[in-house]
Structure 1
């Protein structure tokens, strides 16, 4: 199984934008989870995490996006970070077949902070970072 990025969707509600992606990954969730929930894992494909307290209510600082709070945390399944200026970023990991996982991703933000092509490129780096 190789990784794939399903078509992303974008919605706009006033000034709020919501991006959704489904990313199929060739690794089980326990191998993907560190890429979504640790500073080293996030830095390998997304952005630096100068601070990341891995618990609900913990502090997080994500590169250029800013500092905020861990607003959802379910070990091996859900990591959600809400940061000033960067909005809400949610990673929801599920089992996908015998040896893969599916990442359901949501980014809710105001203004023109992010684009679908930028996230698609990040997810390509995630697939690459996870290796064969």
Structure 2
């Protein structure tokens, strides 16, 4: 199984944009989880986490993205980071076949600073880092 970025949708609600992606990954949920839940994992494909307290209510600071807190934490399944600027990143893993998993990703932010194309490139790095 190879990884793929299968879907990307964008919605706008006032000044808030919401991006949704479905990314198929060639490893188990347990094998992929550290990519979203550890500073080393995030730095390998996305951005360094200067602070990441891996628990509900823990602090998080993602370099170049923002700081806030962990607002959902279900080990091997869901990590959600809500930022002080009102932005949010949600990583939701599901089983996908015998050996793979699917990431349902949501990015909520204000303004025009991010694009579907930029996130597609980021997810290609994720697929390479976990493959």
TM over 0.5: yes
Which runs of 4 or more aligned residues in structure 1 lie more than 4 Å from their structure 2 counterparts after TM superposition? none
Q: How far 1:114 moved relative to its partner? A: 1.3
Report if aligned partners of 1:66, 1:86 keep a CA contact under 8 Å in 2.
no
After TM superposition, list the pairs within 5 Å mapping 1:1-132 onto structure 2. Answer: 1-85=1-85, 87-131=87-131
The Cα of 1:84 is off from its aligned counterpart by: 2.7
- C-alpha displacement of 1:85: 3.5
Q: State the secondary structure of the residue aligned to 2:69.
A: strand
- Tell me how far apart the structure 2 counterparts of residues 86 and 10 of structure 1 sit (CA, whole Å): 17
| Structure 1: gaps (5+ residues) | none
Q: CA RMSD in A?
A: 0.9
Distance, in Å, in 2 between the alignment partners of 1:42 and 1:12 is: 27
Q: Cα offset for 1:7? A: 2.4
Shift of residue 86 of structure 1? 6.8
Equivalences, count: 131
TM-score by length of 2: 0.97
Residue by residue, what CA displacement relative to the aligned partner does 1:87-122 show, whole Å, maximum 9, x if unpaired? Answer: 100000000000000000000111112111111111
